[in-house]
Amino acid sequence: MLNYLIKRILWMIPMLIGISLISFFIMHLAPGDITSNESAFNPKASEESRQKLRELYNLDKPIVVQYGLWLKRIVQLDFGSSFASHQRPVLWEKKDENGNIKPGLIQKALPITLLINLLTILLIFSISILLGTIAAIKKNKIPDRVITLFVFVGFAIPGFWLALILMYSFGVVNQVLPISGLHSIGYEQMSKLGQILDLLKHLALPVFISCLSGLAGISLYVRNGMIEILNQDFIKTARAKGLYEKKVVFVHTLKNALLPLITILGLSIPGLIGGSVIAESIFAIPGMGKLFFDAVLMRDFPVVMGILTIGSILTLLGNLVADLAYAWADPRIRRGLAK
């Protein structure tokens, strides 16, 4: 088991180098660099100054050299600073000699994205398991049909459209929820509890919207898994020996039907740090999606690479965790690994 773990972790190193190499080159395939954004297209801004900036950031060097420089920094865990004129550190805050702090870009964007995604995943899984189970028990009856229709409508509705409709009805017409942003004006003066409530109010719509599209996949997974297992012999045995139906469904069937979800859960770990550009723009949430999108448009290479690197590390770790969790949950696989 330990051997397996060490082997897997060692394998991640060449994988990461491969991923970063490919990302780096693909990123540079797109024409342009930080000096070619729209505000630089200004007759008052001279080409010489742009050239100077290119030299400063080594953008005039061959890509291989640029990659080497990047790799040299990254092995020291230095993600560098943004090319944008604020030059904020990509990952974590930096203190200057006077004790002034420049906050890191990912450091500021990640917590809020994580919070939203964790809430979303929690909601998706709990609602989906509930809906999937009901649909499986009432297979092909009205509740099953209604649930299937509901999750598919939720999946098919364009999120940005529904978001705008909900913002309008809950924020403008009936002013019960805030329209956009993370905090109300005057947030600093609120009590701790008030601040939490204020934040939750602001997150209600974004979380609801991102939940809705995720329900379909997982609830159908649960439903089909349940149906398959309900038809298996050991369930028949369980029923034959007179177990309560509740116990048959919620203990014997559900437990087995949830196994594949572990893989899905593991695979959604890298997704935790990714945000939706559209949702973040509409709800004015300064999260990872907008950060990445803007960085790509600006050709802000250190930020793009920083997010991609952290994303790939998390993906690889997520796979590993999923495999391990699977082994933990399913004795059949555990035995396979031990051999």
Partner 1 sequence: MHKFLALLFLSLVVGCNNSQNLDNTNYDDPALPESGGALTNAMIGEPNNLIAMIAGDSASSAIAGQIFNALLKYDENLGFEGDLADSWIISDDYKKITFNLKQDIKWADDKPFTCEDVLFTWKKVTDPDTRTPYGSDYQLVSSASCVNDYTFTAEYDEPYAPALETWSSLHILPEHLLKDEDINDTYFSLRPTGSNYYALDEWTTGQQVKLKTNPNSVHGRPLLEEKITRIIPDLSSQFMELIAGNIDLMSINPIQYSRVFPSRSELNDKINLYKEMGNGYTYFGFNLKKKPFDDVNIRKAISYAINKEEIINGVLLGLGEEITSPYKPGTYWENKSINKISFDVSRSRELLETSGYQLNANNIYEKDGKTLAFEILTNQNKQREMTAVLIQRRLQDIGIDVSIRVIEWASFVNRFIKTGEFEAVVLGWSLSLDPDQYNIWHSSQQGPGQFNFIGYNNPRVDTLLEEGRKELNNEKRKQIYDEFSKIIYDEQPIIYLYAGYGLTAIHKKIKGVKRVTPPAGVFHNDYEWYIPKKFRRNEMSL
- Point out which residues bind partner 1 (CB under 8 A): 30-33, 36-53, 56, 81, 84-87, 96, 98, 100, 102-103, 108-109, 146, 149-150, 153, 164-165, 167-169, 171-175, 178-186, 189-190, 280-284, 286, 290, 297, 299
Residue 76 or 100: the one with the smaller Cβ distance to partner 1 is 100
Nearest distance in Å: CB 254, partner 1: 24
Nearest distance in Å: CB 24, partner 1: 17
Nearest distance in Å: CB 186, partner 1: 4
Nearest distance in Å: CB 83, partner 1: 11
Residue 229 or 279: the one with the smaller Cβ distance to partner 1 is 279
Selection from 285, 281, 108 nearest residue 182 by Cα: 285
The three-state DSSP-derived secondary structure of the chain is CHHHHHHHHHHHHHHHHHHHHHHHHHHHHCCCCHHHCHHHCCCCCCHHHHHHHHHHCCCCCCHHHHHHHHHHHHHCCCCCECCCCCCCECCCCEECCCCCEECCHHHHHHHHHHHHHHHHHHHHHHHHHHHHHHHHHCCCCHHHHHHHHHHHHHHHCCHHHHHHHHHHHHHHHCCCCCCCCCCCCCHHHCCHHHHHHHHHHHHHHHHHHHHHHHHHHHHHHHHHHHHHHHCCHHHHHHHHCCCCHHHHHHHHHHHHHCHHHHHHHHHCCHHHHCCCHHHHHHCCCCCHHHHHHHHHHHCCHHHHHHHHHHHHHHHHHHHHHHHHHHHHHCHHHHHHHHC
Residue 24 or 326: the one with the smaller Cβ distance to partner 1 is 24
Beta carbons of 133 and 249 less than 8 angstroms apart: yes
Residue 112 or 218: the one with the smaller Cβ distance to partner 1 is 112
The amino acid occupying position 142 is I
Residue 180 or 224: the one with the smaller Cβ distance to partner 1 is 180
Residue 43 or 62: the one with the smaller Cβ distance to partner 1 is 43
Nearest distance in Å: CB 296, partner 1: 9
Please give the Cα distance from 324 to 117 (Å, whole number): 22
| CA 336 and chain centroid, separation | 31
Residue 280 or 323: the one with the smaller Cβ distance to partner 1 is 280
Nearest distance in Å: CB 310, partner 1: 18
Work out the burial of residue 259: count CB atoms within 10 Å of its CB; fewer than 13 is exposed, 13-18 middle, 19 or more buried.
middle
Nearest distance in Å: CB 39, partner 1: 5
Residue 173 or 193: the one with the smaller Cβ distance to partner 1 is 173
Nearest distance in Å: CB 191, partner 1: 11
Residue 48 or 233: the one with the smaller Cβ distance to partner 1 is 48
Nearest distance in Å: CB 305, partner 1: 17
